[in-house]
Amino acid sequence: MLIEKLMLSASTSVTSAVWWRLFNIYLVLSIVFSGFFIAWIMYLVISTRERADREIVNHIKPGIIPSSTRGRPRNVAFLVLFLVIVFFGLFIYSLPSTYYLKQVPSSKANTITIDVYAAQWTWTFRYPNGYNVTGSANVHNYTAEFPVNTTIIFRVTSLDVMHEFSIPSFKVKVDAFAGVWNTAWTDVYQQGTYTAFCTELCGLGHADMYVHMTFVSPAAYSAWIASQK
17-26, 41-50, 217-226, range with the lowest pLDDT: 41-50
The Cα–Cα gap between 205 and 160 comes to 14
Q: What is the pLDDT of residues 122-170, one digit of tens each?
A: 999 999 999 999 998 888 888 899 999 999 999 999 999 999 999 999 9
Pairing of strands 145-147, 210-216: parallel
- Which amino acid makes up residue 212? H
SS3 assignment, position 33:
helix
Tell me, what's the pLDDT at 2? 45
Residue 54 has pLDDT above 70, yes or no: no
In the predicted model, what is the mean pLDDT of residues 100-110? 80
20-29, 106-115, 197-206, range with the lowest pLDDT: 106-115
SS3 assignment, position 195:
strand
The Cα–Cα gap between 207 and 176 comes to 17
4-13, 26-35, 40-49, range with the lowest pLDDT: 4-13
The Cα–Cα gap between 90 and 93 comes to 5
The Cα–Cα gap between 118 and 157 comes to 6
Tell me, what's the pLDDT at 153? 94
More confident position, 206 or 229: 206
The Cα–Cα gap between 106 and 165 comes to 21
SS3 assignment, position 38:
helix
Are the beta carbons of 134 and 123 closer than 8 angstroms?
yes
In the predicted model, what is the mean pLDDT of residues 30-47? 87
Residue 218 has pLDDT above 80, yes or no: yes
